[in-house]
Amino acid sequence: MNKLKADLKIISADSHVFEPADLWHDRLDARFKDRAPRFIPNYQGQPGTYFVAEGVKPYRISKIAALAVKPEDLPKFDDASVNDLQMGGWDPAARLRDQEKDGLCAEVIYATYSMILFGMQDTELQEACFRAYNDWLSEFCSHEPTRLIGLAQISIKNVDNAIKEMERCATLGLRGAMITAVPEEGIELSDARFTPLWRTAEELNFPISLHILTGSRTSYRRFDSSVFGTGFYMAIPHELQLTMTDLVVRGVLERHPKLNFVLAEADIGWIPHFLERLDKGYLRYSHLNQIFLEKKPSQYFQSQVYSTFISDRVGVLTRDMAGIDTLMWSSDYPHTDSTWPNSRSVIDQNFQGVPNSDLLKMINGNVSRLYNIKL
């Protein structure tokens, strides 16, 4: 096994914050104060602390926040409160210390509990919640903007407002946008209504992230989402695969060649088979559907769709079939699946036998190019 050099720069392409308990209460417009998302201990008599927001299912905060907790100790963490969460989730100074402990030089940062708010039905409330989060995140990242690369959270229920918020977030120093991975019933991201949004993303050089667990129509409803059971865990990448099939085959990437998407936290080992099947399906049924592209679907995917992974040895071994120039390693700090504080040893194991040129692409080169991060 090749040991990583101590001075090798590593960037996590998918990390997270823990939103402060008072974020929405303190920052929401006055007319929304009494509807602010909040953290409630022992909600409705249930043990543990829950993230509670209008129109979405209450979420037990411990499920995703058991950083560095051993598998056998996860049941004990169920009763965790906001005070038990890793301080680096909301304190930027503590965050930088945790980066250094893990041997990283920078992170691309997503929301945690705010992602659940994509399920809100009230458009104005969702937009207000996301504005408040984006303001807080920009302040968090401003502590060290070369190492904390924040992604805005954008509601796309009203496209005109989405464009305005994306432009505003660019002025705040945020580097990309996360949107719902699956819109409301009857709407796909290939719909013409979203064309102005894609144009704006191209103009701003804003990658659009589709993160697992942000869809309003999810393929894993058959599994109990109250716990991260095996069936639930296996099903969650499916919504990203289906959404990206729609975007590629219906020509969104072809019409917007400067538009980049990121599939976040779905791993990468599935991509080679997905691309083979995507090309096969397109070639077989394009005349039936009267959908024609200038290139094969896989070529658009491999040039414009980036994917993050945590620990995926199969994906590393099949990297050339997936498209080596768009694969990005991530630590998922400070979540339950995170490799912190042992990311370097995990990378050692996953990348055994991989040429240095390929290693560098996946641990810093691709992500730094996508988000214009200075190494």
Q: Using the 8-state DSSP alphabet, how is residue 114 labeled?
A: G
pLDDT in tens, 163-177: 999 999 999 999 999
Confidence class for position 6, pLDDT limits 50, 70, 90? confident
Looking at residues 156-168, what average pLDDT do you find? 99
Q: How far is CA 138 from CA 90, 221, 306, in A?
A: 12, 33, 23
In a domain, 109, yes or no: yes
Q: Binning pLDDT at 50, 70 and 90, where does residue 1 land?
A: very low
Rounded to 10 deg, the angle between the 238-249 and 297-304 helix axes is 110
Q: Can you give the pLDDT at residue 224?
A: 54
Q: Is residue 71 part of a domain?
A: no
CA-based nearest residue to 364, from 78, 149, 126, 88:
149
Q: How confident is the model at residue 233 (pLDDT cuts 50, 70, 90)?
A: confident
With a threshold of 0.85, does the pTM exceed it? yes
pLDDT at 85 over 50: yes
The CATH number given to whatever domain includes residue 199 is 3.20.20.140
CB-CB contact of 183 with 235 (8 Å): no
The answer to whether residues 144 and 49 touch, using CB atoms and an 8 Å cutoff, is no
Residue 235 has what pLDDT?
A: 78
The three-class DSSP label of residue 314 is: helix
Note whether 58 and 42 are within 8 A (CB).
Answer: no
Joined tokens for residue 269: 């080992």
Structural domain contains residue 266: yes
Asked whether residue 64 is assigned to any structural domain, the reply reads no
Instruction: Please report whether residue 167 resides in a domain.
Output: yes
Q: Of 357, 62, 32, 26, nearest to 227 (Cα)?
A: 62
Q: Is 3 exposed, middle or buried (0-12, 13-18, 19+ CB in 10 A)?
A: exposed
Question: Which residue in 371, 373, 360, 343 sits closest to 9, CA to CA?
Answer: 360
> What domain range includes position 122?
11-35+87-371
∠ CA 350-94-85, rounded to 5°: 80
Q: 213 in helix, strand or coil?
A: coil
- Judged against a pLDDT cut of 60, whether residue 228 lies above it is answered with no
Residue type, 180: T
334 cis-preceded (ω within 30 degrees of 0): yes
Per-residue pLDDT of 343-362, as tens digits, reads: 999 999 999 999 999 999 99
- 186 burial type by CB count under 10 A (0-12 exposed, 13-18 middle, 19+ buried): exposed
Alpha-carbon distance of 255 to 86, in angstroms, equals 43
- How do beta strands 148-153 and 176-179 pair? parallel
The string of pLDDT tens digits covering residues 197-218 is 999 999 999 999 999 988 765 5
Residue (of 311, 219, 291) closest to 12 by Cα position: 311
Instruction: Taking residues 268-286, report their average pLDDT.
Output: 97
Would you tell me how many other CB atoms lie within 10 Å of the CB of residue 246?
14
Percent of the chain predicted with pLDDT > 90: 87
CA nearest neighbour of 337 among 4, 79, 63: 63
Question: Using CA atoms, how far apart are residues 85 and 49, in angstroms rounded to an integer?
Answer: 11
332 in a structural domain: yes
Question: Which one-letter amino acid corresponds to residue 145?
Answer: P
Buried b vs exposed e over 80-108: b needs ≥16 C-beta within 10 Å? bebeebbebbbbbeebbebbeebbbbbbb
Give the number of other Cβ atoms within 10 Å of residue 285's Cβ: 12
Helix (H) or strand (E) holding 153: strand 148-153
**Do the Cβ atoms of 309 and 264 come closer than 8 Å?**
no
Query: What separation in angstroms does the CA of 30 have from each of 164, 183, 269?
Result: 21, 28, 47
Q: Is 130 helix (H, G, I), strand (E, B) or coil?
A: helix
The answer to whether 240 and 212 are in contact (CB under 8 A) is yes
| Domain total in the chain | 1
Question: Is 310 a domain residue?
Answer: yes
2 falls within a domain: no
